[in-house]
Structure 1
């Protein structure tokens, strides 16, 4: 999927279209998702730089905007990263906050089933602006239909998948479902990711969750290694 950047004379319309997609997706979901989407939309409308695709604000400021504590901010921002909607462009250091960005292609892919709730004119307009492109380079082929859900299978990775799916279906579908077991040895489970970007993201942000699920399924296993193409 390729998304035309919301810049130029039609920038305002495209921005509203993206926010509308999020709104429709949230309203069609359960209360927890509605709250998460509303909080993301508040950050987009108050702090997001559309031209540079940057969101630069600290957890304390976000907590004040959301009227919650910083622990809630950490939890919900982790959920947004797990969905792939928010990405870390530059990690914070020495008192500087992290520079975040939005994966608009991922957001529009996930919200597409809710577009008809807005109207046929919206679906037609968005279908013209958003076109499918072949995966290349470091684009992650999310929701690959040829990859079966391994949950409940007799193999180790199948049982780990069942654990991950039960804990967080959205993160499972976005990040774990495409992984393939390639072997085991000396207490380490070896998995293959569909792209280098996918593997790097898992190593940086979700390796702890993978290892925790693995340990719960088989306490004799103590590590996970993720290979990239």
Structure 2
């Protein structure tokens, strides 16, 4: 499933109390991609950030802006604006929700899960707190906070997997540092099987383990993997043969 991530806590709270900070997080993810991404990603992320800031309806998840107005905002020709909008649609960042009709411009929906998936490799550049917030991981403790009162309840973290060229070893190290107990219980048993066409396949020891990680930790897992290997676009979890 190219460009797919499960809805994070951010996407579940884009309206109502606290929505303003969530919107800033989404824009931050786009802008850090504009600053650090490859030339095409950077350009598209910056242009979509401007559309979101100027014309996006957060309640409906849509914007309706004519091609001429988009070209003026972006400082490009209408032909270039048309080409850029087509590329945003091709990547799945936006989709047509209401086609153009006489007297009415096309209404587009922004597919925030796909957009955030594209920005994942750059989350850690903003800071560990931002990365944790966006990936539904525990936020790191600030120095001196809580350390004196911590009572260890879990065994020491399990060893990291050997480096195999997929980036899984580095991702596992990141996951272990975030939350040793969760790493021990859910991530350490996963074994890399294959990396092909940008899809990393991990094998779980049983179906329950696989289903639980998919349901509860997919975004955290994918964010860690993508951060360490930018060529990966998805993680699949299989089950060991009986």
Normalising TM by the smaller chain, what interval?
A: 0.5 to 0.7
- Residue 50 of structure 1 aligns to a residue whose secondary structure is coil
Q: CA deviation at 1:124?
A: 1.4
Q: CA RMSD in A?
A: 2.3
User: 2:37 — aligned with what?
Assistant: 29
Unaligned runs of 5+ in 1: 130-144, 151-172, 175-229
Distance 2:45 2:117 in 1: 15
Q: Is residue 2:153 matched to residue 1:124?
A: no
Number of residue pairs aligned between Structure 1 and Structure 2: 137
What is the TM-score when the length of structure 1 is the normalising length? 0.55
Q: How big is each residue's C-alpha offset from its partner over 1:178-212, in whole Å with a ceiling of 9 and x where there is no partner?
A: xxxxxxxxxxxxxxxxxxxxxxxxxxxxxxxxxxx
- Residue 84 of structure 1 aligns to a residue whose secondary structure is coil
User: 1:89 — aligned with what?
Assistant: 97
| Cα distance change on mapping 1:94 and 1:41 into 2, 3 Å | same
Distance 1:146 1:101 in 2: 34
What is the TM-score when the length of structure 2 is the normalising length? 0.52
User: 1:181 — aligned with what?
Assistant: none
Give the one of 84, 88, 101 matched to 1:76. Answer: 84
Distance 1:79 1:17 in 2: 24
Q: CA deviation at 1:4?
A: 1.2
Greater Cα radius of gyration, structure 1 or 2: 2
Q: CA deviation at 1:112?
A: 1.2
Q: How big is each residue's C-alpha offset from its partner over 1:80-118, in whole Å with a ceiling of 9 and x where there is no partner?
A: 111111111111112311110111111111211210000
- Residue 49 of structure 1 aligns to a residue whose secondary structure is coil
- Residue 96 of structure 1 aligns to a residue whose secondary structure is coil
**1:99-110 pair list within 5 angstroms:** 99-110=107-118
Distance 2:52 2:33 in 1: 16
Structure 1 runs (4+) deviating above 6 angstroms are none
